[in-house]
Amino acid sequence: MMLWRLITMVPLLLVLLLVLLLFGAGFAVKILWWAAIAVLILWLIGFVARPKGGSGRWYRW
């Protein structure tokens, strides 16, 4: 009886673990897209608002 219960629970737990991993990965990818968009907007603002004189670069590398 205990072995039958274990055999039926393992696939269910594997499916739930897979769903949890995919949900977590999807959430992480969504956060990374928003971060990439924010960096792009900041870069565009810096590119447009760069100083007229000097080297013309708004960053200090």
Name the helix (H) or strand (E) containing 2.
helix 2-48
Q: What is the pLDDT of residue 8?
A: 77
What is the model's pLDDT at position 49? 77
pLDDT value of position 52: 65
Higher pLDDT among residues 55 and 3, named by residue: 3
For residue 47, CA distances in Å to 9, 37, 38, 54 come to: 57, 15, 14, 14
Q: Tens digit of pLDDT for each residue in 1-51?
A: 677 776 778 888 888 898 888 888 888 888 889 999 999 998 888 777 766
pLDDT at residue 56, rounded to an integer: 59
Asked whether the beta carbons of 59 and 47 are under 8 A apart, the reply is: no
pLDDT of residue 38: 94
